[in-house]
A and B are shown apart, each in its own frame.
Chain A
Amino acid sequence: MDLLDFARGPALTAALSVFVFGVAWRLLSLFLLPWARDPSPRRADARPAWVGAVRGFARHLWPRKPFARASMLTTVNGYVMHLGLAIVFFGLAQHILFLRGLFGIAWPNLPSGLISGVAVVTLGSLALALARRLTHPVLRLISTFNDYFTWLVTFLPIATGLLAVSHLGAPYPTLLAVHLLSVSLLLIWFPFGKLMHAFLVFVTRSETGIAYNRRGVVL
């Protein structure tokens, strides 16, 4: 078994298993926890909880005016990075074929040249996020291993994908194997680090919305 066979077979099987295990564990252990009761009385003019939740989520999609100057760059950069990731992962034919192998469904792919362009932009925006994390005094202070490692496992698939497409640095089978292994690393780290935000960000922001709503704060 060569490196590519390992990456396409056992490595992905193991990584997907760890991913599924970890996500199930983290979500269930979180949602089945006893919820702390909010002792404050519910305001008479409070809207239904679900409205609070939706508003809470929507409100956080964009910074408020007073914070706009300070956080505009991070916000826009965050969108660029996440949209880039999504376009690359769901738009490239090779990726769709991988997903078809898992779920049996497929959709039309985007031109590969476009994907390459988006991938380069995504790589740039990840670099920018790291640069900001390293230079911003407060952000730097509160950053932990989790932040840096999460950054790395997000960065690697894009970087190695681009290397594979451009056949740079090693024979193609090796490049492809390294790309797949980098994705395996992402999948394995996912449930245990802050990548879980992909599931939890909806929960946390809606929770905030519900709590504020109960107290009569209109977000």
Chain B
Amino acid sequence: MTDQRTIGELLAQRGISRRALLKYGAYLGALMALPSWQSRALAEGLANARRQSVIWLSFQECTGCTESLTRSFAPTIEHLIFDLISLDYHETLQAVSGFAAEAARREAMRANAGKYVVVVDGSVPTKDGGVYATIAGKTNLEILRETAAQALALISVGTCASFGGIPHADPNPTGAVPVSEIITDKPLINISGCPPIPEAMAGTIAYLITFGKLPDLDELKRPKSFFGETIHDRCYRRPFYDKGLFAKSFDDEGARRGWCLYELGCKGPVTYNACPTVKWNGGVSFPIQSGHGCLGCSEPNFWDKGGFYRPLSANTGSLGKSVGAAAAVGVGVGVASAMLARHRKNTASRGE
């Protein structure tokens, strides 16, 4: 199962030159803002590394993450990622099915015990014993525990695997949880986003293969090189924010002039991701450039933060009941204490 050839040799056979691979490595290194020597090491390392055995598990998800990776703008380059790894099991991409597929997973686990990387997209349902998602008669929960046991490291791809994502949104009917809540004793990287930026996935995997260790992670276990800054930090509309110039609707004068989308609900100031710099579809655009505020999709619970179109500075609780009750109690206590004072005064004056 494990191919002994290096990635460089493999690609050469397919007519992809070493030069192209080095360029790709350097590109990923640059995206990750690696120092130049590391960037070079990454490019060289990629060419000489063996392919990493990867088992890709798809749980409660929409397949958008895989789509993001496979339908990226420059397929010849992005498909390189699949040459970097030996994808031994992938629900969506593998040709085999049924028993053969499960056998492939077990074989990969056996042959590369302790050395394979588990990539997960989708959250894991835990309610009612995890029956809400099963593959080959096994719950996602069982499959994850079984597969992770011998893994070198895990990569949660997408917000569902990283933080629970949309299945985890209120009221979370399936008891969905992120991978990190189930597997706590293995190195783990979260590459969040709905979907994540393909370059962030490719870059992280390339780093893992060449340096044999995890990249620098933030407190949510996301690679700092892609999640080190907020959308707002790098947004080209930022000068308008700083001046206080905001579009009031999606089609007003301000919107046409490219003003800031904060009033329309942009969550860029509290969202860590690389969209403004790496962009999408090979650097063509990103949501804010296309005229829509950031949804905050790479953050935990982005679905339950008061609404995509509610400005960040607006409160999110529903006030009606609580404030109404408080007012009623306040009026009651106020009237009562005044009456008590009157009563005291009356009895006092009668006593005189």
Contact = CB atoms under 8 A, between A and B. Distances in A.
Interface of A: 1-2, 4-5, 8-10, 12-14, 16-18, 20-34, 92-95, 97-98, 100-102, 109-113, 115, 172-173, 176
Given A16-B319, A16-B323, A4 B270 contact: yes
B322 to A, nearest CB: 5
A30 B330 CA distance: 12
Interface in B229-270: 230, 232, 241-244, 246, 262-263, 269-270
A35 to B, nearest CB: 11
Contacts of B314: 8, 97-98, 100-101
A111 to B, nearest CB: 5
B34 to A, nearest CB: 23
B63 to A, nearest CB: 28
A25 B243 contact: no
Contact of A21 (B230, B330, B335): B330
B345 interface: yes
Given A21-B329, A176-B269, 12 more contacts: A5-B301, A9-B317, A17-B326, A20-B323, A29-B337, A93-B244, A98-B314, A109-B246, A112-B244, A113-B244, A115-B244, A172-B232
23 contacts: A1-B301, A5-B316, A8-B305, A8-B314, A8-B317, A9-B317, A10-B317, A13-B315, A13-B319, A16-B323, A17-B325, A20-B326, A25-B331, A25-B334, A27-B334, A29-B338, A32-B334, A94-B262, A94-B313, A97-B314, A101-B311, A111-B243, A111-B244
A115 B313 CA distance: 16
B323 A17 contact: yes
B168 to A, nearest CB: 13
Nearest to B339: A32
Interface in B282-320: 300-301, 305-306, 310-319
A24 B330 contact: yes
A28 B232 contact: no
Interface string B316-352: 1111001101110111011101110110010000000
B336 to A, nearest CB: 8
Nearest to A101: B314
Nearest to B242: A112
Contact of A33 (B301, B313, B325, B338): B338
Contacts of B305: 5, 8
B135 to A, nearest CB: 32
B313 A172 contact: no
B316 A8 contact: yes
Contacts of A94: 262, 311-313
Contacts of B341: 29, 33-34
B230 A28 contact: no
Contacts of A27: 334
A97 B337 contact: no
B327 A20 contact: yes
A204 to B, nearest CB: 18
Given A17-B325, A172-B232, A29 B317 contact: no
A9 B334 CA distance: 28
B308 to A, nearest CB: 14
Name, among A18, A93, A109, A110, the residue most crowded by chain B CB atoms within 10 Å (CB to CB).
A93
A25 B330 contact: yes
A9 B269 contact: no
Given A8-B315, A20-B327, A32-B339, A13 B334 contact: no
Given A24-B330, A176-B269, A9 B316 contact: yes
Contact of A110 (B244, B306, B313): B244
Contact of A34 (B230, B246, B312, B342): B342
Nearest to A167: B233
Nearest to B241: A112
A3 B262 CA distance: 20
Nearest to B340: A29
B298 to A, nearest CB: 13
B260 to A, nearest CB: 9
Contacts of A22: 330
Contacts of B331: 24-25, 28
B317 A172 contact: no
A32 B345 CA distance: 13
A102 B310 CA distance: 12
Nearest to A191: B330
B301 A28 contact: no
Contacts of A101: 310-311, 314-315
